[in-house]
Homo-oligomer: A and B are copies of this chain.
Amino acid sequence: MNAGTFRSWQSIQQEVLRRIHAREWEPGEVIPNEADLAREFGCARATVNRALQALAESGLLERRRKAGTRVALHPVSKATVNVPVIRLEIEERGRSYGYERITRLESAPAPLWAAAAMGLAAGTPLLHVAALHTADGAPFVHEDRWINTDTVPGAAQQDFRDVSANEWLLTNAPYTHGDICFAAMAADGEPALRLDASDGAPLFVIERTTWDGARAITAVRLSYAPGHSIRTTI
């Protein structure tokens, strides 16, 4: 009866969503297999497959060979947080971007958090760059960065005075994978000073480490100005 009504994988996805939401297919229940759905919808199995794979990726369906496809009992919402270059993050909000390098040390002993994140011994000498990114002149985020020049020799030639390490590394040191950590920390020391935050004020902090295979490229702690939040949809 539905034959011909659902032609694109998106429309099939919509219909599946409708059935889940209308409780025609209940949480935990096995839904018909791909071949049956394809027949019902009057389309090829590959089209159904595309729709169901997308829903499985979003966590709403769970699929296993032979066991079939079931509606997830506890749909894990997967929030995708975009972490762009800071300059673009600011410009996309229609604010004017500013950058100021604070310090650059050719070789400084890595602090515990950076060393641990990069899998190095604490105190390993690394290239260190501290900088402040501003939006409409106001402090936006403080960048505390540690770079492994063994992995990225080119970084030693950069002074990061005009182009931030954030931006330079992203286009010049492609990474294979990375770790990222979101946390809340009390404002303290130089970041607090630069961000005009009173000592102990809660700051939103992102720590990120990127790798080229098994070799760490860089570790960075981004301390955002008070009140900053990250929004997305699920």
A residues sitting closer than 8 Å to B (CB atoms) are: 17, 20-21, 27, 59, 73-85, 88, 167, 170-171, 174, 176-186, 200-205, 208, 212, 228-234
Contact = CB atoms under 8 A, between A and B. Distances in A.
Contact of A230 (B27, B83, B183): B183
Contacts of A21: 174, 176, 212
B171 A74 contact: yes
Contact of A78 (B73, B80, B171, B228): B80
Q: Could you say how many copies of this chain the assembly holds? A: 2
A74 B20 CA distance: 38
A230 B179 CA distance: 11
Given A85-B74, A174-B20, A230 B185 contact: no
A113 to B, nearest CB: 12
Contact of A73 (B77, B83, B171, B234): B171
Contact of A233 (B27, B170, B179, B234): B179
B80 A80 contact: yes
B184 A184 contact: yes
A56 to B, nearest CB: 14
Nearest to A77: B83
Contacts of A179: 231-234
A222 B230 CA distance: 15
Contacts of A180: 77, 79, 231-234
B171 A184 contact: no
B229 A183 contact: yes
A230 B203 CA distance: 15
B74 A84 contact: yes
Given A234-B177, A234-B178, A228 B183 contact: yes
A223 to B, nearest CB: 10
10 contacts: A21-B174, A21-B176, A27-B174, A76-B82, A76-B84, A77-B180, A181-B229, A181-B231, A183-B230, A184-B228
A219 B136 CA distance: 32
Interface pairs A-B: 7 shortest CB-CB: A184-B184, A202-B202, A183-B229, A184-B202, A184-B204, A76-B84, A178-B234
